[in-house]
């Protein structure tokens, strides 16, 4: 098969890396890709949200399967557009992608499916939202969410009720564009977060290992949120993985199916676990980034027939992949200044000094005019190690992280430490 991966981050490099190992894979193309995907195939200078451009190139280049990485093209209807042209695509339709692109849609599905989640209300005016905050009272701090997609920035967890009122004003004043025209105010939950991903084909689900990502820039979860600073798998605090998928994914996909909104693609549940009690915070309609960089190296077997069956709407071939039962740790190396402003174009040194057993997934990288691999984004690389124990995986990952340098490079030093200390 000739495969086109849409996107250019670490998740897309990890998908390209795993799919390139399939005996059925003839070629990998990426739009737009990065230096990592260029190494596995061909990068195309097409933006991941250019629906017309992706459809045309998929026809011209005789692509057999398009695998969509990011949420924005899914929410914009890329899979629908490809399907109309007769091109097979992995990912949900625009309608089914609402499980991620509308927080309120997701809540209604969970409500109907009887899935435990943070309860919330929907507001379409600042006045009504302010009034609700007053009813809640100053000690009852909620979480505010722009209903639509806001590039991961639409969730506000205020420290003070005045901050909540300010956030409401900003959201309705257009801080998140049309995504903030409707705002969900929901109960604030406490606990530890985990990510649960499954490949879905209608009501058939194939669970992947659970994982835990680190969102804050600094050690001990200090500083602002980022796109993800590292991941480990599996987390020990979640309970039985099969219970998560039976209690969350299965009822949700059955509810969507019966509601005429069948889901095909990757369903990701963001969970909050408190003393064994599990609630869903959000759904994503795509592979998690950076979770994918830690999970795919744990899978034995061929992922391609699984994604293909999901795209065709067929039963998922359960025996195609298995989990090794081992542990993985993935550490992101980022540009100095990230998640604020940062410089790019810094040559990356040490990529040839990495252990053979370790995978380095590229995110913001490019090849410069002199043929050097240089930085091209905030999150630059993810270094993933797999081993029999989490402690071993962590040791190997950091040993290799230290061999890679570029001007201003930064990484967290405590990925997976919390789990090992507890
Ligand atoms: P989301 O985009 O929904 O994952 O939200 C981003 C982050 O906000 C989550 O990873 C949580 O850390 C936090 N968050 C979201 N919803 C809640 C909630 N109901 N209670 C507490 N924290 C939340
Ligand atoms: N790691 C969180 C996400 O992919 O949205």
- 323 φ, ψ to 5°? -90, 135
Contacts of 184 (CB under 8 A, 6+ apart): 103, 104, 107, 120, 121, 122, 123, 144, 145, 147
Atom of ligand 2 nearest to the CA of 290: 1
Tell whether the model's pLDDT for residue 180 goes beyond 80.
no
* DSSP E strands, 234-376: 264-274, 277-284, 299-301, 321-323, 327-334, 359-362, 365-367, 373-375
* DSSP E strands, 86-126: 89-90, 120-123
Atom of ligand 1 nearest to the CA of 103: 3
Residues 124-141 have pLDDT tens digits of 988 988 888 888 877 789
Distance 108 CA to ligand 1 centre (A): 17
Sorting pLDDT into bands at 50, 70 and 90, what band is 173?
confident
Tell whether the model's pLDDT for residue 177 goes beyond 80.
no
The DSSP bridge pattern shows strands 327-334 and 222-233 to be: antiparallel
pLDDT mean over 385-413? 98
Global pTM value: 0.96
Distance 151 CA to ligand 2 centre (A): 11
pLDDT mean over 8-14? 98
Least trusted range by pLDDT, from 60-64, 132-136, 337-341: 132-136
Candidate from 102, 103, 118, 155 with most ligand 1 atoms within 8 A of CB, to mutate: 155
Distance 264 CA to ligand 1 centre (A): 25
Distance 134 CA to ligand 1 centre (A): 22
- Residue 39 confidence (pLDDT): 95
Distance 135 CA to ligand 1 centre (A): 22
Sorting pLDDT into bands at 50, 70 and 90, what band is 342?
very high
Ligand number with the minimum distance to the CA of 101: 1
Quick check: 279 and 118 in contact, CB under 8 A?
Answer: yes
Q: How far apart are CA 126 and CA 352, in angstroms?
A: 54
- What value does the mean pLDDT of the chain take? 95
Q: Whose CA is nearest to atom 3 of ligand 2?
A: 288
Note the Cα 40 to chain centre separation in Å. 22
Quick check: 402 and 413 in contact, CB under 8 A?
Answer: no
Sorting pLDDT into bands at 50, 70 and 90, what band is 193?
very high
Which one is predicted more confidently, 181 or 28? 28
Atom of ligand 1 nearest to the CA of 187: 19
Atom of ligand 2 nearest to the CA of 11: 4
pLDDT mean over 18-35? 98
Rounded alpha-carbon distances, angstroms, from residue 306 to 205, 208, 314, 315, 320: 10, 12, 9, 9, 7
Q: Does ligand 2 come within 6 angstroms of the Cβ of 228?
A: yes
Tell whether the model's pLDDT for residue 27 goes beyond 80.
yes
Residues 222-256 have pLDDT tens digits of 998 899 999 999 999 998 899 999 999 999 999 99
> Which range, 118-127, 166-175, 208-217, has the best average confidence (pLDDT)?
208-217
Candidate from 69, 195, 271 with most ligand 2 atoms within 8 A of CB, to mutate: 195
Q: Whose CA is nearest to atom 12 of ligand 1?
A: 193
Distance 289 CA to ligand 2 centre (A): 5
- Residue 151 confidence (pLDDT): 79
- Residue 25 confidence (pLDDT): 98
Q: Does ligand 2 come within 6 angstroms of the Cβ of 284?
A: yes
Q: Whose CA is nearest to atom 18 of ligand 1?
A: 188
Q: Does ligand 2 come within 6 angstroms of the Cβ of 71?
A: no
Q: How far apart are CA 415 and CA 235, in angstroms?
A: 12
Ligand number with the minimum distance to the CA of 284: 2
Structure tokens at 278: 């599990």
Ligand 1 contacts (CB < 6 A) are 118, 143, 155, 157, 186-189, 193, 215, 270, 281-282
- Residue 211 confidence (pLDDT): 98
Percent with pLDDT over 70 in the chain: 100
Instruction: Classify 362 as helix, strand or coil.
Output: strand
Tell whether the model's pLDDT for residue 261 goes beyond 80.
yes
Q: Does ligand 2 come within 6 angstroms of the Cβ of 213?
A: yes
- Residue 176 confidence (pLDDT): 79
Q: Does ligand 2 come within 6 angstroms of the Cβ of 291?
A: yes
């Amino acid at each position: 098969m000739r495969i086109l991966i849409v996107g250019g981050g670490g998740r897309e490099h990890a998908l390209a890396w795993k799919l390139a190992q399939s005996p059925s894979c003839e070629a990998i193309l990426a739009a737009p890709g990065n230096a990592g995907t260029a190494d596995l195939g061909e990068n195309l200078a097409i933006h991941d949200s250019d629906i017309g451009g992706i459809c045309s190139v998929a026809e011209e280049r005789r692509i057999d399967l398009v695998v969509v990485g990011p949420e924005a093209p899914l929410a914009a209807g890329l899979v629908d557009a490809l399907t109309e042209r007769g091109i097979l695509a992995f990912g949900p339709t625009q309608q089914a992608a609402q499980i991620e692109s509308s927080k309120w849609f997701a809540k209604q599905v969970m409500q109907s499916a009887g899935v435990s989640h943070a309860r919330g209300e929907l507001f379409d005016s600042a006045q009504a939202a302010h009034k609700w905050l007053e009813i809640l009272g100053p000690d009852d701090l909620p979480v505010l969410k722009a209903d639509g997609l806001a590039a991961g920035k639409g969730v506000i967890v205020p420290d003070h009720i005045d901050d909540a009122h300010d956030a409401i004003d900003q959201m309705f004043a257009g801080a998140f564009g049309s995504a903030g025209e409707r705002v969900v105010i929901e109960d604030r939950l406490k606990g530890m977060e985990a990510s649960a991903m499954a490949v879905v084909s209608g009501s058939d689900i194939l669970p992947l290992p659970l994982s835990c990502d680190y969102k804050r820039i600094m050690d001990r979860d200090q500083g602002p949120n980022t796109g993800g600073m590292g991941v480990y798998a599996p987390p020990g605090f979640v309970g039985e993985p099969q219970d998560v998928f039976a209690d969350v994914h299965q009822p949700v996909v059955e509810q969507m199916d019966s509601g005429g909104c069948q889901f095909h693609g990757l369903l990701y549940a963001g969970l909050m676990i408190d003393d064994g009690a599990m609630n869903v915070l959000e759904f994503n309609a795509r592979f998690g980034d950076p979770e994918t960089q830690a999970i795919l190296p744990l899978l034995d077997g061929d992922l391609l027939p699984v994604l293909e069956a999901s795209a065709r709407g067929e039963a998922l071939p359960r025996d195609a992949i298995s989990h090794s039962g081992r542990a993985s740790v993935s550490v992101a190396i980022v540009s100095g200044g990230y998640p604020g402003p940062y410089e790019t174009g810094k040559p990356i040194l040490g990529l040839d000094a990495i252990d053979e057993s370790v995978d380095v997934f590229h995110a913001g990288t490019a090849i410069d005019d002199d043929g050097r691999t240089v930085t091209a984004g905030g999150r630059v690389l993810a270094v993933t190690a797999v081993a029999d124990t989490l402690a071993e995986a962590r040791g190997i990952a950091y040993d290799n992280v230290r061999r890679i340098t570029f001007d201003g490079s930064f990484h967290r030093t405590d990925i997976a430490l919390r789990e090992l200390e507890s």
